[in-house]
Amino acid sequence: MGYKSHAQRKAVHAHKADGGKGHPDKKGSPAKNKNNDSIAASNAWKDFKKSYMDRTHKFKGTPYEKPLSSEDNLREYNVEKNEFYYDTNKKKMRLIPTDDAERKDKSGIQSWQLAPDMKAPLKKSPLQMVGVQSPLNKISGPCKAAAKKKFKVWPSAYASGWGVRCTKAGGPSKYGGGKKK
């Protein structure tokens, strides 16, 4: 194969060297980099979990030191893993950024960067995961409808409290919220 010029020969060899991108500074394709990043993320999550599971004591070297069992380590890992993601730029685990109201901002974070169990959508609310039931689940349908009519804002603390008391009393008609005669 003959080249027309030295520049053409350099361009062809640069093209072969960088995996088809045409520039020697662009090594590999984006798909390959993403795959390598997902493998790195998987390894980082394994190391993150291992660091929790290898602990023997909490507050080591302080007056509050206490021994930890593997169940304690796993429980703490499961609680705290939802606060981290794998940062591809820094190549390490980082906290998920939050806004002023402490809500997680996951924009720009891919699902493979999150904890292995977080990839599937949550079926339970975070409160239900730790065993706290929402008061809205304890309000009967008729009491909820009566509370929505009675209060301007739903859900609110006042309306929810009224709905719970109404449900405990046995319904809106027994609590003064039933049909008018």
What is the per-residue pLDDT across 16-34, written as a single tens digit (0 to 9) for each?
555 555 554 555 444 445 5
pTM above 0.85, yes or no: no
Q: Mean pLDDT over all residues of the chain?
A: 77
Confidence of residue 58 (pLDDT cuts 50, 70, 90): confident
The two three-digit tokens of residue 130, written as one number? 């730790």
**Tokens found for residue 178:** 């039933």
* Closest CA relative to residue 115, chosen from 97, 93, 141: 93
Specify the pLDDT at position 15: 55
Six token digits for residue 69: 């069992």
pLDDT, average across residues 58-72: 87
Q: Residue range 71-97: average pLDDT?
A: 88
Q: Which residues pair with 87 in a beta bridge?
A: 92
Report d(CA 143, CA 164) in Å as an integer: 8
Q: How confident is the model at residue 180 (pLDDT cuts 50, 70, 90)?
A: very low
pLDDT at 31: 47
